[in-house]
A = this chain, B = another copy of it.
Amino acid sequence: MSALANDTLLRALAREPTEHAPIWLMRQAGRYLPEYAATRAGAGSFLALAKSPALATEVTLQPLERFPLDAAILFSDILTVPDAMGLGLHFAEGEGPRLARPLRDETAIAALSAPDPSDKLRYVLDAVREIRRALAGRVPLIGFAGSPYTLACYMVEGAGSEGFPALKRLLYARPELLHRILEVTARAVTDYLNAQIEAGAQAVMIFDTWGGNLTHCGYEEFSLGYARRVLAGLKKEADGRHVPSILFTKGGGQWLEAIAASGCDAVGLDWTVDARRARECIGARVALQGNLDPAALFAPPDAVRLQARRVLDAFGPAPGHVFNLGHGISQHTPVESVAALVDEVLTYSRTQRIRVG
């Protein structure tokens, strides 16, 4: 493996000083990029794209060709894990992902087992290896998985949903069955992320997209408790370097202290979180990633630059901030907004550091 030409992300995640705030964007390889749309059309379907290591590599690198981003993130989907568990992932055109065999009875839940990633998820690991070769040390590669709770939401509901009523019914009526799903899924996610690290992922992120739909107590019991198990089971080093972990709970702003104590190296913040308060509360313990409102990118470039500076001012120039959006980039984002954002973050965060000496 080649040495890293740009390790700004890894230094920021370790809360070491950097020349600028590193920036990458959740879902940076995606539909807002015309070149992505072209590759996706050629592949025939999202799943064909995600399951081809060559095409996954191609789209993973596309945003890096356009913008001077500080990290690549594996192009994949969090539902590869339920798919590997036999739940049958497919994408209905124009809708979201669907699982053909959601977990709706005790027998199916009892039969659930954690898949061997080197078998059923080999295509992802092949993609990680191929992306690392293609990156050739330019920037680090981030691997990822859904949190056990977020995966369980889809595994029980069978699709995305406003309120996940089937999941919630199970949670309140038969919590022991949900715990069984979460235990198996936590093992599956741990094995999957470790396999990604072995294949070459230099940092990993856990996406807890739906943890914010839980109550205060439910978040600890059903989401954070299992994320903690995953974090405890992760390989901490690869190629002689620490492999940092980032935990992102959308809607988790009320639980930052608990999230920061979960064993992760960095906490992802959605756009509703006050970055100043987050710095004060947990900034001495973990790095912070975020948190521009993705909708700010709908505005013209000058307005985007203003909002980027506001976010950088809120975090301040101290080490340990990775600039990102507070949620995945929208497919309706103009490409020029992203160009303005990346330029402003790199430029302005340098001046912040110079000002404080």
Contact = CB atoms under 8 A, between A and B. Distances in A.
A227 to B, nearest CB: 17
A295 interface: yes
A349 to B, nearest CB: 19
A251 B273 CA distance: 11
When all copies of this chain in the complex are counted, the total is 2
A217 interface: yes
A300 B173 contact: yes
A219 to B, nearest CB: 8
A271 interface: yes
A299 B165 contact: no
A163 interface: yes
A172 B307 contact: yes
Given A165-B332, A274-B216, A332-B165, A296 B254 contact: no
A111 to B, nearest CB: 24
A272 B214 CA distance: 6
B299 A172 contact: yes
A46 to B, nearest CB: 19
Given A254-B253, A254-B254, A272-B254, A298 B215 contact: no
Interface string A269-294: 00111110100000000000000011
B173 A299 contact: yes
A293 B168 CA distance: 9
Interface string A290-312: 00011110111001100100100
A120 interface: no
A225 interface: no
Nearest to A213: B272
Contacts of A295: 163-165, 168-169, 171-172
A165 B295 CA distance: 7
Contact of A330 (B165, B253, B326): B165
Interface in A66-80: none
Interface of A: 163-165, 168-169, 171-173, 212-219, 251, 253-254, 271-275, 277, 293-296, 298-300, 303-304, 307, 310, 326, 330, 332
25 contacts: A165-B295, A165-B330, A168-B293, A168-B296, A168-B298, A169-B295, A171-B295, A172-B295, A172-B296, A172-B299, A172-B304, A173-B299, A173-B300, A173-B303, A212-B272, A215-B271, A215-B272, A215-B293, A216-B272, A216-B273, A217-B310, A219-B272, A253-B253, A254-B272, A254-B274
What are the 4 A-B residue pairs with the smallest beta carbon separation, nearest first? A168-B295, A172-B299, A216-B274, A173-B299
